[in-house]
Structure 1
Amino acid sequence: MNDFVSVAPISAHAAHDPNPPRVEPILKGDGWYPDIDLRDVRVVLRLDGTVTDARLFDAVVEGIAHAADVLHAWRVKCEASGAADLAATHPRQVAGESVQVRRYRRAVYGWAHALVLERYRGYDTSQSGTRRVDAVALSPDEARRDAYWALGDIVGRRRLTVEAI
């Protein structure tokens, strides 16, 4: 049995808005987690203009939500112990900033990067283009691994890598 679904065509005007809504570059944290600057995300992840601000915003929002979900139980314990914010959960600083804040950003950036990579694998689908992308680009799985390692580092969970033989 075959199913067929038909949808109304999208007009050219609706498909491409020449003046997309402006996306604020700073995503405000909730006071416990730090703010995320989309300009910094773009630089760190080396994203060019093919990833629109709106799509980057969406991926980073999901990264923030996912990190918060994974850290929820740990955060509740930390707040019960008197931690006013993420930075207060660990005394160490690197380059004048809490390592926990840096790890949180790495987790958010990693998750957002995985989402972006899945959508923008590359426009050159020729064999040479695929080899070039594979040689240079981080895979979505590697970006997710980096994000989960960062979240594990925040809560103090040791890393373990196992390979099946």
Structure 2
Amino acid sequence: MNSTFVANSPAQNEDTTIRNDGWWPDLDLSDFKADYRIATDNDDDRLSQVVIAAILEINSVAADWKKRQEATDLSSVPAPQIDGESEKVILYRNAVFYRAKSLLVAGRRDHDTTNSGHDRANRLDDSNDEWMRMSTDSVNNLTDRKRFDAELL
């Protein structure tokens, strides 16, 4: 008796678009995976959950700014075009994807109690902080929040 077993990789959803609320743009998981070097051990279901969580956070943070807009959707808000795309749409996508990457990094924090485990966890914390900072900067730019420098006396 001769049998052959072939292991198949987990099926990935063919439609990788995450539908937003109609005002904010839909986002594509394939863009997130390609642009942010997402590890292949993250399946589309996990990535979808993380990107949806990031969308909810960014939409909430920018809700007051959105209410002040007279446009029918984000791409209609007056803004410079970069390579044929609204600067506002680019900033929104970056804010969401940076936040999603931060959530992924935070979820990978190692619980190893060895010195090498602590070092790796500290590097992940630094990386997580950097992704969150970039997300916050993108939201601030999107919503026209001015940054300022404070000087201690």
Could you say which TM-score interval applies, normalised by the shorter chain? Answer: 0.7 to 0.9
2:110 maps to 1:119: no
Aligned to 1:48: 39
Distance (whole Å) between structure 2 residues aligned to residue 19 and residue 128 of structure 1 = 29
Amino acid at match of 2:136: Y
Q: Classify 1:23/1:55 alpha carbon distance in 2 versus 1 (closer, same or farther; 3 Å).
A: farther
Aligned to 1:62: 53
Q: Classify 1:138/1:95 alpha carbon distance in 2 versus 1 (closer, same or farther; 3 Å).
A: farther
Q: TM-score, normalised by structure 1?
A: 0.73
Cα RMSD, aligned residues only? 3.1
Secondary structure of 1:90's match? coil
Secondary structure of 2:68's match? helix
Q: TM-score, normalised by structure 2?
A: 0.78
2:149 maps to 1:158: no
The runs of at least 4 aligned residues of structure 1 exceeding 3 Å deviation read 18-24, 121-126, 128-131, 160-165
Deviation of residue 139 (structure 1)? 1.2
Q: How many residues align?
A: 144
Aligned to 1:147: 135
Secondary structure of 1:109's match? helix
Counterpart contact for 2:106–2:125, Cα < 8 Å: no
Distance (whole Å) between structure 2 residues aligned to residue 31 and residue 72 of structure 1 = 14
2:61 maps to 1:109: no
Aligned to 1:9: none
Distance (whole Å) between structure 2 residues aligned to residue 162 and residue 118 of structure 1 = 29
Alignment of 1:129-144 (within 5 A): 130=119, 134=123, 139-144=127-132
Distance (whole Å) between structure 1 residues aligned to residue 97 and residue 76 of structure 2 = 21
Q: Classify 1:70/1:50 alpha carbon distance in 2 versus 1 (closer, same or farther; 3 Å).
A: same
Distance (whole Å) between structure 2 residues aligned to residue 62 and residue 162 of structure 1 = 32
Aligned to 2:5: none
Amino acid at match of 2:45: A
Counterpart contact for 2:12–2:44, Cα < 8 Å: no
Deviation of residue 116 (structure 1)? 0.2
Secondary structure of 1:139's match? helix
Percent identity between matched residues is 29
